[in-house]
Amino acid sequence: MNLRFQACIAASRRQPVPVHQPAGRPAVYFGKYVFSDEKMRRYLPQKAYSALRLAIRENSSLGRDVADIVANGMKKWAMEMGATHCTHWFQPLTEGTAEKHDAFLELAPNGNAIENFTGSMLVQQEPDASSFPSGGIRSTFEARGYTAWDPASPVFIIGDTLMIPTIFIAYTGEALDYKAPLKKSLSSLNTAATAVARLFDSKVKSVRCNLGWEQEYFLVDEDLFSARPDLVLTGRTLMGHSSAKDQQMDDHYFSAIPDRVQAFMSDLEIRAHELGIPLKTRHNEVAPNQFEVAPVYEECNLSVDHNMLLMSLMRRTARKHGFQCLLHEKPFAGVNGSGKHENWSLQTDAGTMLLAPGQTAEENLRFAVFVVETLMGVWKHNGLLKASIMSATNEHRLGAGEAPPAIISAFIGKQLEAFLDHIETNPTEALFSIRDKRGVQLGIPQIPKLIIHETDRNRTSPFAFTGNRFEFRAVGSSANCASALIVINTAVAEALTSFSARVEKRGGGIDAVLETLREDIRASKSIRFSGNGYSAEWQQEAKQRGLDCEKNTTLVYDRYLDEDSVQMFESMSVMNRNELKARNEIKWETYHKKIQIEARVMGDLCLNHIIPVATRYQTALVDNVCKINQVYDAAEAAKLCSYNKTLISQINEYLNHIATKTEEMNGKRRVVENIENEREKAIAYHDVILPLLHDIRFNVDKLELIVEDEAWPLPKYRELMFIR
Can you give the binding site for ligand ADP, defined by CB under 6 A?
A: 210, 212, 214, 281, 294-297, 343, 345, 353, 468-469
Binding flag, residue 528, Mg ion (CB under 5 A): no
232 or 296: CB nearest ligand ADP = 296
| Partner that binds at residue 418, options ligand ADP, Mg ion, none, CB closer than 5 to 8 Å by kind | none
Paired strand residues for 476: 339
347 or 382: CB nearest ligand ADP = 347
Q: Following DSSP, what letter does each residue of 194-255 receive, concatenated?
A: HHHHTTT-TT---EEEEEEEEEEEEEEEHHHHHT-HHHHHHSS-S--PPPSSSSTT--STT-
How many Å apart are CA 123 and CA 149, to the nearest integer? Answer: 5
Paired strand residues for 88: 164
Secondary structure (3-state) at 172: coil
147 or 303: CB nearest ligand ADP = 303
56 or 353: CB nearest ligand ADP = 353
243 or 348: CB nearest ligand ADP = 348
Shortest Å distance, C-beta 189 to ligand ADP: 14
Shortest Å distance, C-beta 204 to ligand ADP: 17
181 or 295: CB nearest ligand ADP = 295
| Partner that binds at residue 295, options Mg ion, ligand ADP, none, CB closer than 5 to 8 Å by kind | ligand ADP
- Cβ-based neighbour number of residue 382 at 10 Å: 26
Residue 440: partners with Cβ closer than 8 Å, 6 or more residues away: 361, 432, 433, 434, 510
What φ, ψ does residue 78 adopt, rounded to 5°?
A: -60, -40
**Among the listed residues 4, 184, 260, 341, the single contact to Mg ion using CB under 5 A:** 341
| Partner that binds at residue 662, options Mg ion, ligand ADP, none, CB closer than 5 to 8 Å by kind | none
Pairing of strands 98-99, 470-476: unpaired
16 or 448: CB nearest ligand ADP = 448
- Tell me the residue number closest to Mg ion, measured at CB: 341
| Partner that binds at residue 210, options Mg ion, ligand ADP, none, CB closer than 5 to 8 Å by kind | ligand ADP
Shortest Å distance, C-beta 411 to ligand ADP: 13
Shortest Å distance, C-beta 465 to Mg ion: 12
How many Å apart are CA 583 and CA 590, to the nearest integer? Answer: 10
Q: Following DSSP, what letter does each residue of 449-482 receive, concatenated?
A: TTT--TTS--TT-SEEE-SSSEEEEEEETTS-TH
Shortest Å distance, C-beta 438 to Mg ion: 36
Burial class (CB in 10 A: 0-12, 13-18, 19+), 569: buried
| Partner that binds at residue 294, options Mg ion, ligand ADP, none, CB closer than 5 to 8 Å by kind | ligand ADP
Paired strand residues for 99: 89
117 or 297: CB nearest ligand ADP = 297
Query: What are the strands, taking DSSP E only, across 8-104?
Result: 85-90, 98-99, 102-103
Give the 3-state secondary structure of 106-138: EECCCCCEEECCCHHHHHEECCCCCCCCCCCCC
| Partner that binds at residue 469, options ligand ADP, Mg ion, none, CB closer than 5 to 8 Å by kind | ligand ADP
Shortest Å distance, C-beta 280 to Mg ion: 12
Report in angstroms the alpha-carbon separations of 179 from 59, 182, 251, 308, 490: 13, 5, 39, 11, 14
Shortest Å distance, C-beta 423 to Mg ion: 27
530 or 629: CB nearest Mg ion = 530
Burial class (CB in 10 A: 0-12, 13-18, 19+), 600: middle
| Partner that binds at residue 291, options Mg ion, ligand ADP, none, CB closer than 5 to 8 Å by kind | none
17 or 353: CB nearest ligand ADP = 353
Shortest Å distance, C-beta 355 to ligand ADP: 7
How many Å apart are CA 217 and CA 225, to the nearest integer? Answer: 15
Shortest Å distance, C-beta 458 to Mg ion: 12
Contact segment (CB under 5 A) with Mg ion among 173-181, 337-345, 522-530, 686-694 equals: 337-345
Shortest Å distance, C-beta 432 to Mg ion: 36
Pairing of strands 161-170, 290-295: unpaired
Contacts to Mg ion by CB under 5 A: 341
